[in-house]
Amino acid sequence: MNSNERTMIAMSHSEPDRVPLFLSLTHYGARELQISVKEYFSKPENVVTAQLRMKDKYNNDCVFPFFYSAIEVEAFGGEVIFLDEGPPNSGEPLIKSIEDIRKLEVPKIEDSKCLRQILDVTKMLKERVGDSTPIIGVVISPFALPIMQLGFEKYLEVLYFRQDYFEELMLINKKFCIMWANAQLEAGATAICYSNPLASPTILEKEKYMSAGYNVDKQTLANIKGSTAIHLASGIALPVIEEIISTGVAGIGFSAKDDLEEIKKAAQNKICLIGNLNALEMVNWNSQKVEAEIKNVIAKAGRGGGLILSDNHGEIPWQVPEDVLFEISETVQRFGTYPLKWV
């Protein structure tokens, strides 16, 4: 059974040969190639080489053309700050005043070198893996992107007190998000990871998300022409899982802080769970901790399929030792094979 078959069966709430493993190895590819993060993302060939190498090295069931979240504000003309051993971050907000929202224009993909590079990676990965391995594209929810466009404090002002500007910004961001997601699908992405940490009450109270962000997400997702999964970037998912299910997404990233048994009940035969290993804590994991964490999530959420084992944040930190990733892979091979006779 190849990775794509394994994943599709799990997402259809049946049991494949084993639980799929999606390690979010993004900037970690720079460590794999022993080059700087900035150099790594400077050439599509670097990303392709690292993704394919890490897929085989860790028995990973997916590949990521994704570069870094700040690439979307980079496409709008924003600043990106590269770090030596971490993901690139957005710099000074590109929207200096709330009134400048009315000057914002949707970037054209063909005019954006950074976006074109991701499409190049996607196409090259598709040529190499075909339909054997899921290729995961990534977009930021129009509702979450303003955190980088405006800065969180200014965005909260818009969100709570400047409804006219909020609506204008959402129109621009929805148009961009839909266009960017569909471009990745056309280039060969199997599915789109739709990132929205603001959908989780860890970041924003549920009432505000439902009154302001939910319809933005629902409208945007309805116009993406392929399979989608929403990721809450380590935020808890259980309090909003029913609402997320109603958007029509096929999967949901859930947190290490979610109650495993309760979220499995809520998701059963409705949505695939993707998670929930704590990537930040992986830095200090040993063999015993790896085994305990993986056995726990598989035992409580793996029966009947509907589970993809992954980290809960969306990227593996540079500082996580390779030995830990090997241990995770080997432990999934040992304890993730169906039927789960050891449970």
Q: Is 320 exposed, middle or buried (0-12, 13-18, 19+ CB in 10 A)?
A: buried
Count other C-beta atoms under 10 Å from residue 323's C-beta. 12
Inter-helix orientation angle 44-57/113-129, to 10°: 40
Neighbour tally for 248: CB within 10 Å: 12
Please say whether the beta carbons of 338 and 51 come within 8 A: no
Return all residues near 333 (Cβ < 8 A) that are at least 6 apart.
18, 59
Q: Rounded mean pLDDT of 302-308?
A: 97
Residue with token string 């979450």: 144
How much is the pLDDT for 343?
84
Closest CA to 107 of 177, 43, 163, 156: 177
What is the chain's mean pLDDT, rounded? 97
Q: Return the beta strands (E) in 27-181 as ranges.
A: 80-81, 89-90, 136-140
Q: CA 245 to CA 70: how far, in whole Å?
A: 27
Token pair in block for residue 311: 């980290």
Domains and CATH numbers, the chain: 3-335 (3.20.20.210)
**Structural tokens at position 339:** 């039927």
pLDDT tens, residue by residue, 22-49: 999 999 999 999 999 999 999 999 999 9
Question: Residue 302 pLDDT more than 90?
Answer: yes
Mean pLDDT of 247-253: 97
Q: Strands 272-277 and 136-140: what pairing?
A: unpaired
Of 138, 149, 4, residue with least CA distance to 73: 149
Cα 251 to chain centroid distance, Å, stands at 11
Q: Read off the pLDDT of residues 58-107 as tens digits, 9 standing for 90 and up.
A: 999 999 999 999 999 999 999 999 999 999 999 999 999 999 999 999 99
> What is the per-residue pLDDT for 333?
96
The C-alpha atoms of residue 96 and residue 92 are separated, in whole angstroms, by: 9
Residue 149 has pLDDT above 90, yes or no: yes
Checking if the pLDDT of 167 tops 90, the result is yes
Whole-number Å distance between alpha carbons of 234 and 227: 21
